[in-house]
Amino acid sequence: MKKYISLLLLLLFCSVSVYGKPIKEKTSLTVSVENTLFSPVAENTEGATFKTEVQNVKKTKLWFLTIRNGENNKKAREFIVKKTPVPETVVWDGLTSDGNIAPDGQYSYKFFVLGDRGSAVVEKSNVMTVDSTPPFVSLKCDRDVCFINQEDGKFSRDLVVYLSAGDENGIDFSKSYLEVLSYNDKRVKEFPFNGKIPEFVMWDGIDEVYNMPLPIGNYKVNFVVTDKAGNISNIDSEISIAPMPKEPEPELPKEVEVKQEERGLVINLSSKVLFDVSKSELKAEAEESLTEVSEILKVYLKNKVLIEGHTDSSGNKEKNMQLSIDRAQSVYDFFVDKGIDEERMTVFGFGSDKPVSPNDTEKGKEQNRRVEIIILKTQEPQPETAAAEETEESGGAQSEPTGNEEPAEVSEQEVIEDEESYEEHIEIPQEPEIPQEQSHKEHAQENIILEVSEPAGNESSNTEGESAAGGE
């Protein structure tokens, strides 16, 4: 028994000492990195923060931190310190060793420490991202002057502000917003963004502080976007609030309406504005209205567009169907001439199958003779059931755009078959292709469609009836 006890004590003694000295444990190093995405040029932002923990070192001989560009492995910054303990926190501010701002991209690091009990190293690739480029932003108001109604003080027509923003490393929506400022830069209205940036915002001219109409004067619409690295972009547009003139507002004819439907933004143009009786050639005075619509289409670069022609029920049904296609095709050709990508647009003709008013009055017939331009939603696809029900009720004929060629005659059989084609065109892809914008940034639109109040209806009526022989 004594023999076994003696052997156990001997093993214990050997495990804690060699030649009378304790065994030394090797140096160990632990490194974690915080704030891995940052901007060297943004205010109130920290650089990449290294949190270190060194163990089993009584005396530090040397430590260094080397940061390299992840793309070309070139050394961007190096910290070398001798005979000084490793600090618990080391911050890289995004500057190179010569004091310049590091190029945008990913970066790797190597952290080394040499102590009295050996050395330790931690090395990781593409851990940090430097982003000094501000996000892309775009803002466009549909007009510069907003007229107010004397009855309630609201705008005679809601101001529409078209927005677009994007950043390849993401947008910080909590720090992005749209605001309206008075002449002394006092905020009178704010539109916060809850996880998305809307394609457009509509405003009736009411102050959010007192819920009262704003006084006549000059104002500024300001769009501020902050990316996740802390870079900020802003763009503004000046507007004026003025009393309603005696004459109607000059920007849009009364026959032009803008409203929101489930499938997207719908721009309704009366045939009276665009065409002569029973004709499909655009009138000269139609250019102003269609040019303004084409500018709106240029804001929505990734949205598909439907161009739908409609007639009243007068005359021959087949001729009405063909006339509706020809008129929609004329609008399509106009937009192509204005630089709109023809691949985005699809032409449909519905004849008299989709009236918006009864055809038993001249006013109702005039409202049914129209061309609708629909800017489809991009992130919120229209329910297939709704599209199917709508198509089953009315049927549609599609014309493949072919430049200036005359469309072929459409039979009743072709109209029925084209209902499926129409449903395919209104179905929106979940992940649309994003166009390239500026340097290395991508143009990313994130969409919310806000509540749109329907403009006042057209009070005018067409005293000149369309001839039955002409198809309407």
- How much is the pLDDT for 349? 92
pLDDT at 216 over 60: yes
Q: What are phi and psi of 291, to 5 degrees?
A: -65, -40
Torsion angle of C-alpha atoms 424, 427, 430, 435, degrees rounded to 10: 80
- The CA distances from residue 223 to 176, 179, 347, in Å, are 8, 7, 34
pLDDT at position 152 is 81
pLDDT bracket for residue 276 (50, 70, 90): confident
Distance CA 375, CA 385 (A): 20
The kind and range of the H/E element at 365 are helix 362-368
pLDDT value, residue 4: 58
The correct answer on CATH 1.20.1250.20 for the domain covering 133-251 is no
Distance separating alpha carbons of residues 26 and 280, to the nearest angstrom = 88
8 versus 67: the higher-pLDDT residue is 67
Mean pLDDT of 378-401: 44
Return the domain boundaries, the chain.
20-130, 133-251, 252-472
112, pLDDT greater than 60: yes
Average pLDDT of the residues of the chain: 78
pLDDT at residue 428, rounded to an integer: 39
Give the up-direction half-sphere exposure of residue 217: CA atoms within 13 A in the CB hemisphere: 12
Please give the helix or strand (H or E) that residue 91 lies within, else none: strand 89-92
Digit-coded pLDDT (tens) for 10-35: 665 555 444 445 556 888 999 999 99
Q: Is 457 buried (19+), middle (13-18) or exposed (0-12) by CB count in 10 A?
A: exposed
Range among 141-150, 246-255, 259-268 with highest mean pLDDT value: 141-150
- Residue 314's contacts (CB-CB under 8 Å, 6 or more residues apart) are 320, 359, 365, 465, 466, 467, 468, 472
Percentage of residues in the chain with pLDDT exceeding 70? 72
Average pLDDT estimate for 371-392: 56
State in Å, rounded, how far the first CA of the chain is from the last one.
119
Which range (138-147, 158-167, 300-309, 417-426) has the least confidence? 417-426
49 vs 275, residue with greater confidence: 49
**Bigger pLDDT: 5 vs 132:** 132
Give the tokens for residue 358.
């009864």
Query: 158-203 pLDDT, tens per residue?
Result: 999 999 999 999 999 999 999 999 988 899 999 988 888 999 999 9
Same fold, 20-130 and 252-472: no
The H or E element containing residue 166 is: strand 159-166
Collect all residues with Cβ–Cβ distance below 8 Å to 448 and sequence separation of at least 6.
193, 194, 196, 197, 198, 199
Mean pLDDT of 237-249: 76
Domain boundaries 20-130, corresponding CATH code: 2.60.40.2550
Whether the CB-CB separation of 155 and 61 falls below 8 Å is answered with: no
Bin 218: left if φ > 0, else alpha if -120 < ψ < 50, else beta.
beta
Distance CA 379, CA 196 (A): 11
Residue 116's identity, in one-letter code, is D
Handedness of CA 120, 125, 126, 127 (dihedral sign): negative
Question: Is the model's pLDDT at 424 over the cut of 80?
Answer: no
Query: What is the rounded CA–CA span in Å between residue 293 and residue 339?
Result: 12
Contact, 369 vs 271, CB < 8 A?
yes
Rounded CA gap, 234 and 230, in Å? 13
Q: pLDDT value at position 81? A: 94
Q: Return d(Cα 88, Cα 466) in angstroms, integer.
A: 84
Tokens representing 252 are 């849009």
Q: What local confidence, expressed as pLDDT, does residue 254 receive? A: 53
What token pair was written down for 353?
Answer: 């199958």
CA 406 and chain centroid, separation: 37
- Cα(137)–Cα(448) distance, integer angstroms: 16
The model carries a pTM of 0.50
pLDDT band at 450 (very low <50, low <70, confident <90, very high): very low
17 alpha-carbon distance from chain centroid? 69
> How far is it, in rounded angstroms, from Cα 314 to Cα 312?
6
Query: Is residue 465 over pLDDT 70?
Result: no
Q: Tokens 């078959």, residue?
A: 417
Domain 252-472 has CATH 2.60.120.10: no
Assess whether pLDDT exceeds 60 at residue 441: no
CA neighbor of 37 nearest in space, from 179, 169, 150, 165: 169
Is beta strand 48-55 parallel, antiparallel or unpaired with respect to 89-92?
antiparallel
Angle in degrees, CA 384, 389, 393, rounded to 5: 150
Return the C-alpha torsion angle 423, 428, 430, 433, nearest 10: 130
Q: What angle do CA 79, 85, 89 make, to 5 degrees?
A: 60
Q: Are 52 and 30 in contact (CB under 8 A)?
A: yes
